[in-house]
Chains A and B, each alone.
Chain A
């Protein structure tokens, strides 16, 4: 995918071209990670977005990955600031257990975000951001080894954070996004996922030792390639309302818990649903200088209309996946961290009510150079 290549090249140039000791640019939070994993997959089902189907209901893969991320500060004063965040990586699978072939899918991902912050006096702080994210996938295998398809997505956002008033800090965010999925000429189904969306969110935060945030958001999404079979309103348009809360504690352990309710309505009957999502992240100190981490997202969904056989296009409304990741971390040297991670995923595929599962055990080494 050309756009992804451009993004990766940009990231590489930025990463190579910047000197940590340069007077103009400060590098923060630079991390290089390499790791290996073994993964297992369960669930035999077809997928609209995959050209091949395999009869196996179990597969496994050995996985190797390499990634890097960091932050470049070009300007950082109390009044204004400008930074670029970058993140990129490559992941190679060696799959086995399929009836048809031994697949060797490879993912290449990259992301670049620019963020400009400007103080607007006693009113608060205004932040403008733009970003591009891209990924490409080679040799995408059939289910149950699910790998996201390639896409490119550009986004822009304005975020206004008001000054604290009587212990409450209000904020508002307006975001727009354009997503283009990389469909092959002989397999155009992925183009159905192309979309444009706009999201407006308002929220309020209070608390010192722990913080609570209540927020509400509305999102408008146009799928310009998905037809509705309605001559008067031929393309799918979704309207989503979300309301939720997060609770955060930083000391003595870092915990963040969130719950949100989602109401999705559309001019197409299939993707109308109500959902509830719980998300949480946690880090706790353990004996032997270990830190334990947890990251989880659990979603339950109820479709408004009953169809005997709902054939979904992945991405349009199949966000009822549940994931849980548990990690054990230990500093091996002042700049090198080791991490063992166990991951579990259970998600609905193209076919409504049909789920696949994924288990993975990974080991990572993360290098954080001392930049001061």
Chain B
């Protein structure tokens, strides 16, 4: 065999082998790719459903915590109206617990909402990929029947994609429910809307009064806290260098063991050192500050809804 003929034979053989490999491997690659998309789609669906279920659960827990918060707040207001300081403190302590629980649930809702948003984005991305492939496959289909089948699949994926798009992302921050029954009704005329605006404004004024009362109480507690801290500062300053034990006595007993962190107000032994009640004062102040923040959030929410009604009223009167 001539050398040139041998080279031509080798080239032809390589070409045949290449064509054979291509002919067998290409459908396999396409099939694998399609299967991969289906697996990812199934996985993304499961992830999203799980995240949505978690968010639903967190949302229900938040609403339950909010209802408990509202009842605790009602108890605080009732105790304050009665003027019983001890009952008020107990109600405030319970409210503080509910307020912390409400915050915890709100954080949990935000966390699950974030996860749901992420899984939704992932699912939409896989759906879009699958939908686009089906579209292309339908165009490339060998038979009309196959094309129709692929078009049906394409339509279902597209519907699912649009459904997710319509659902949108979960709310970034839960709006507190205050006066939930005051909503816009398409049958509302200007008088009804004005009535609803007045109702919301009345509630806003009530919240303002409550916030003012909370501020006054915080101010009084802070004043008392400062008094107790000043006395504590004087006494610890004197005792630090043993100036209160003269000339030399046995070192004073252990520091007072009262643990006002738990809200107790026990007294130290024979000492005239002021009780460290300020820590429970601190807890009261923190509780009231949290209450103030939450009341303010509700006020802002009501103001937003009032503004919405005003806009509708304006549109009605100008049209």
Contact = CB atoms under 8 A, between A and B. Distances in A.
A327 interface: yes
A273 to B, nearest CB: 13
Contacts of B275: 248
Contacts of A148: 241-242, 245, 247-248
B25 to A, nearest CB: 56
A347 interface: yes
Nearest to A285: B227
A213 B227 CA distance: 22
Given A283-B231, A345-B246, A107 B241 contact: yes
Interface in B248-298: 248-251, 253-255, 257, 259, 261-264, 266-267, 269-279, 282, 286
Contact of B253 (A33, A83, A175): A175
B255 to A, nearest CB: 5
B270 A244 contact: yes
A129 B224 CA distance: 28
B229 to A, nearest CB: 8
A3 interface: no
Nearest to A253: B227
A366 interface: yes
B251 A153 contact: yes
Given A67-B237, A157-B254, A173 B244 contact: no
B247 A343 contact: no
B250 A242 contact: no
A35 B86 CA distance: 40
Interface in A311-363: 314-315, 318-319, 321, 323, 325, 327, 329, 331, 337, 339, 341, 343, 345, 347-350
Contacts, number: 214
A323 B243 contact: yes
B227 A157 contact: no
B254 A341 contact: no
Interface stretch (A5-13, A85-93, A301-309): A85-93
Contact of B246 (A83, A129, A146, A250): A146
Interface stretch (A16-24, A94-102, A192-200): A192-200
A69 interface: yes
A258 B248 contact: no
Interface stretch (A52-60, A226-234, A289-297): A289-297
Q: Which of B223, B248, B286 has the largest count of A CB atoms less than 10 A from its CB?
A: B248
Nearest to A282: B231
Contacts of B231: 254, 281-283, 293, 295
A76 B261 contact: yes
Contacts of B245: 148, 319, 321
A85 B230 CA distance: 18
Given A131-B254, A251-B224, A343-B238, A215 B269 contact: yes
B228 interface: yes
B197 to A, nearest CB: 38
8 contacts: A78-B263, A81-B262, A83-B261, A135-B242, A195-B250, A254-B224, A257-B272, A323-B238
Give the 5 A-B CB pairs with smallest separation, nearest first. Answer: A321-B246, A315-B248, A347-B246, A329-B230, A279-B272
Given A87-B240, A325-B238, 20 more contacts: A28-B279, A76-B261, A78-B263, A81-B261, A83-B261, A117-B259, A125-B259, A148-B245, A157-B254, A195-B250, A197-B250, A213-B267, A246-B267, A254-B227, A254-B228, A260-B270, A293-B230, A295-B235, A295-B272, A315-B247
